Structure formats: C-alpha cells, structure tokens
Amino acid sequence: MGNVTAGVAAKFAFFPPEPPTYEVFKDEDGRVCFSGITADKNVNVHLLDTKGGNKIVATFWKHPSGRFTLLYSHGNAADLGQMIDLFVELRAHLRVNIMCYDYTGYGGSSGKPSEFNTYHDIEAVYNCLKSEYSIKQEDIILYGQSVGSGPTLHLASRLQRLRAIVLHSAILSGIRVLYPVKMTFWFDIFKGTSDEVVDFSHGKRLWELAKEKYDPLWVEGGGHCNLETFPEYIKHMRKFVNAMEKHSFSKRNKGRLSQAPSITESKHNRCLRFGKRQK
C-alpha cells in the first residue's frame, strides 16, 4: 500500500521540466561536464549515487573566500540548467560556496521523483560535501525553496550543528498548498508532525514554529517564482549571512535548530503549485 500511495502522491506533486534544460557528459579526460556552464575552475559537476538506487546531478560552485556553503534545494518545475545565472549571482553577492542538485527524475538525474527519493537525494549531496570537500555541518546553511523545503527540513532534523536554515516560499505539506485543510491525508507529502494547525501563510506558520528565529523577509508583491528579482532579497540574504558569521554555537540550546530567515511571498501565483502545471 505504501508504494501505491507514494506513487499517487508523486503524480500530483512533482513536475520536472520536459525535456531537461541541460545535458551531462564526460570530456576527453573523463571529467563530468554540464552543458551551459563555461569553463570555470571553481565549478565541479558530480554524479552521485543515492540510497534509492538513482544517480543525481549536483554542481558545486566554489567561492575563493567563502566560509559557508549553501546547500540549495530548488523549487518544483525547475532544473539546474535554468538556475545557472542565479547561482552565479548568489555566489558573488553572498560570498558563499553553493552546492545544488537535481532531484531524482529532474534534469540529468535518473529515476522517478518521489517524496522519499528527495530525502535520499539530499543525504547523498550532504555526504558529498563531507567526503569531497571536508565541509563541516557547522559551515553549512541549508536553503529550501518551495518543494525543496521538504528535503531541507528532513536533513535538518538529522543534523544538530547546522549553521542555519533558509526557507523560501516554504510549504507546510503538499496538500495544504492546494487546500486550507487541517487534517492530514494518506496521499499527502512532506507532512510534518507539528503542523496540525495551519496558519493563513505557510511561511509565517513555519517561522512561528522555529525554535530560533531571525528577522523574516515578507516580500510585498512578490510571487512564487520571482522573489530573487527583488532588491531586498539579496540585501536581506547578505545581512543574514553576515549575522551567521558572528553567531556563536554556545548561544544555542542543545538539540535545537535554527530556521532563519523564512522567505515567502505576500501574493501567490500558480507557477510552481502542487497539482497545477506552470501556465
């Protein structure tokens, strides 16, 4: 029954771009390459094996003086090929490394997308950061956009010394994106254990549930797909990263996670909603 319900949920939840917007190939030296990325010694492409038996594409964008690494889980109906310019801008303005990946079934990643595959995906990416780049969790900022908030919080619940978490247009659960329900259905995905009471805004409710908070950014007039285009977005993110550099772990209570800032929109559009394709 579990496999059947997971399959039904996946059909309503995940919409990878068809066809993918990029290709992955190997050059004459056997190095994995990513179409659309010009020669850049500070960008590495990985094909990672997951516990779900799939191979996913991940790219590591290194900043020469970056202290932190942003582990970026993108939104629905997008793949890495569409986000190259964004990663270039974030790396430059925030002065951080960026590790981003395509979920199972997205872009050049194999397999079929599902809730549990996204969990396997982000775990494989985190393991790569540890093994390939010796990056400690204290120097990682998890970033989850829309559907990416699911795997982001999954990994956050298992790591106790993360630097911080950023939630961007986050969701309380899959079905609650479509309907303002208070109950949990068998076919729901990314359903949490503390979200029985749903506020009018998913992002605001998640921010309220956070044990440690940073001043949130509510973008007036922002939509689901365009928050990065507002000047206050980069300004707030830069301020946040600077604050995290000064943040001491000694000030934290043991076992508590930082979820800040929660970035959401004040007006929704249907660009990446569950159950509805982009128009």
Amino acid at 189: I
17 HSE (CA, 13 A, CB side): 18
Catalytic sites, residue numbers: 146, 195, 224
Q: Which residues contact 41 (CB under 8 A, 6 or more apart)?
A: none
Euclidean distance between CA atoms 62 and 98, whole angstroms: 7
Dihedrals φ, ψ of 246, to 5°?
-95, -10
